[in-house]
Amino acid sequence: MKQIVVEQASDHKASDHHQKVSTRRVALIGGTTTFDDCLVALRYLVNPRQLIDGSAITKYEHAFAEQIGVRYAYSFCHGRVGLYGLLRGLGIGEGDEVLLQVPTHIVVPNAIRFTGARPVYVDCQLDTYNMDIEQAEQRITPRTKALVLQHTFGIPVDLDAALDLTRRHGLDLIEDCVHALGATYDGRQVGSFGRAAFFSTEETKTISTTMGGMVVTDDPELAARVQEFQQSCARPSAWQAASYVLKLVLYHWMTEPHVHQYTRAIYEFFGKRNPLPQPTTDEETHGKRPGNYYEQRLSNAQAALGLRQLRRLETNVAHRRMTAMAYSMQLPKKGFEVPRPPAKANPAYVRYPVWVKDPEVTKRVATRHATLGTWFSSVLEESISPACGDYEMGSCPRAEEAARHLINLPTNPRVSAQDIEAILSAVARAETMAKNQIS
């Protein structure tokens, strides 16, 4: 992608420009798959002999380990399942405590709680929405066994501070890289610093296998235990694997900018009634463990599709960084604060976070040009209530405030320079409207 430069246009030119791009609506997700990926997916559906099991799984795991710079990688149906298996492999269970930040997704504390351990929540810093490391140290007790370190929105945490903390207190550092595939810190890939790390390739992440996750580690003993857990997990059913592959193909088409304005309306009309598989089950939103289908592996077809996208990761992440740079250059001129990553960090920006007065107003104003995200509309995203994850309201006030003000701008490879200009203009207009309503 050519370098993105966003210039302030005159009102007349902006009006002409909006007419030209009115047929485009950028999706928050998508852009990581290609037409050829869809052809590969359809071949698995038409000839399903290797839909569930095959050589692509091992190839994908080896390539993923090589990408992160570690020796071992093991795939699962979800990143949350990989985390659960990783915690078990570390011997974490009844009576133990695990530090994690908010905001995060309900499935992260769920994985901790399902082992019998207790999640201990730490507030975020508002310049990165990452963990407040100083507060984390204050919440360590003799029962604390591990720290789950989330690189929020693909912005790496200050890993020097985190590693110093875990070494001094004898804690296992688990990197939560679900947003951060391709991000680096001090020239190294995130996911290679802690005892282990887990990633997600769910449809909203940097690459998509519709559902999927990966655990990586350089520790041979821990790797053996994670592999044993993986082997104990059930293989997905043919119907489930096929539905994930079909959804990937449908999303490739539905998120195309000239089509998305129509498909998004259909998606929102049906909501959770649509027949496509949902990322989070109703049980999980209530903090409950799903039935026998929680511990599952990744299918061979999904691994094949993930491997194809992993080979294009450098180009994918480069586009996200250029898009984020354009946002970072222009938003301060419009009165917005922007993230301030640590000096050694090179974020991957799965999405770009912006603090606004009223997220609903901003989403509505921008809807002509883009679908904006609301990670995180709760300290525990998608939970029926934070109490479902044993979170006590008031314990992390910065995260709670962020949940009332955050929107996310798309960074995916389909976002063009013209889209960025239209999105930024809409966000600025919405902020003015929200301030006028308050005053």
Residues β-bridged to residue 373: 408
Q: What is the pLDDT of residue 271?
A: 65
Quick check: do 11-31+246-290+308-438 and 35-232 share a fold?
Answer: no
Q: What is the pLDDT of residue 8?
A: 38
Average per-residue pLDDT for the chain: 93
Our CA dihedral for 129, 152, 79, 292, rounded to 10 degrees, sits at 20
Q: What is the pLDDT of residue 14?
A: 42
Once rounded to an integer, what is the mean pLDDT over residues 72-80? 98
Cα(371)–Cα(36) distance, rounded to whole angstroms?
25
One DSSP character per residue, 22-64 reads TT--B-SS--S--HHHHHHHHHHHHSGGGSSSSTHHHHHHHHH
With a cut of 70, say whether residue 365 has pLDDT above it.
Answer: yes
pLDDT class for 15, splitting at 50, 70, 90? Answer: very low
pLDDT class for 11, splitting at 50, 70, 90? Answer: very low
Q: What is the pLDDT of residue 269?
A: 65
Q: What is the pLDDT of residue 277?
A: 83
With a cut of 60, say whether residue 213 has pLDDT above it.
Answer: yes
Q: What is the pLDDT of residue 238?
A: 95
Indicate the domain borders of the chain: 11-31+246-290+308-438, 35-232
Task: Count the helix, strand and coil residues of the chain and give each as a percent rounded to the nearest 5.
Answer: 45, 15, 40
With a cut of 80, say whether residue 306 has pLDDT above it.
Answer: yes
Once rounded to an integer, what is the mean pLDDT over residues 401-414? 98
| Percentage of the chain lying above the pLDDT 90 cut | 88
pLDDT class for 263, splitting at 50, 70, 90? Answer: confident
Q: Which CATH number describes the domain made up of 11-31+246-290+308-438?
A: 3.90.1150.10
In the chain, DSSP finds a helix count (H) and a strand count (E) of 16, 14
Once rounded to an integer, what is the mean pLDDT over residues 294-317? 98
Residue 264 corresponds to which tokens in the numbers above? 């998004």
pLDDT class for 266, splitting at 50, 70, 90? Answer: confident
Q: What is the pLDDT of residue 438?
A: 64
pLDDT class for 9, splitting at 50, 70, 90? Answer: very low
Once rounded to an integer, what is the mean pLDDT over residues 235-249? 96
pLDDT in tens, 31-55: 999 999 999 999 999 999 999 999 9
| Amino acid code (one letter) for 162 | A
Once rounded to an integer, what is the mean pLDDT over residues 274-289? 89
pLDDT class for 80, splitting at 50, 70, 90? Answer: very high
How remote is the C-alpha of 89 from its chain's centroid?
24
The reported pTM is 0.93
In this structure, the strands spanning 144-150 and 184-185 are: unpaired
> Where is pLDDT greater, at 274 or 164?
164
Q: Widest CA span of the chain, in angstroms? A: 65
Q: What is the pLDDT of residue 102?
A: 98
In this structure, the strands spanning 97-101 and 144-150 are: parallel
pLDDT in tens, 325-350: 999 999 999 999 999 999 999 999 99
CA-based nearest residue to 302, from 176, 156, 200, 419: 200
Buried b (16+ CB within 10 A) or exposed e, 373-389: bbbbebbbbebeebebb
The answer to which of 22-31, 165-174, 397-406 has the lowest mean pLDDT is: 22-31
Cα(198)–Cα(80) distance, rounded to whole angstroms?
8
Cα(212)–Cα(205) distance, rounded to whole angstroms?
10
With a cut of 70, say whether residue 243 has pLDDT above it.
Answer: yes
Could you name the CATH architecture of 35-232?
3-Layer(aba) Sandwich (3.40)
Q: What is the pLDDT of residue 19?
A: 42
CA-based nearest residue to 123, from 103, 107, 153: 103
| Amino acid code (one letter) for 271 | G
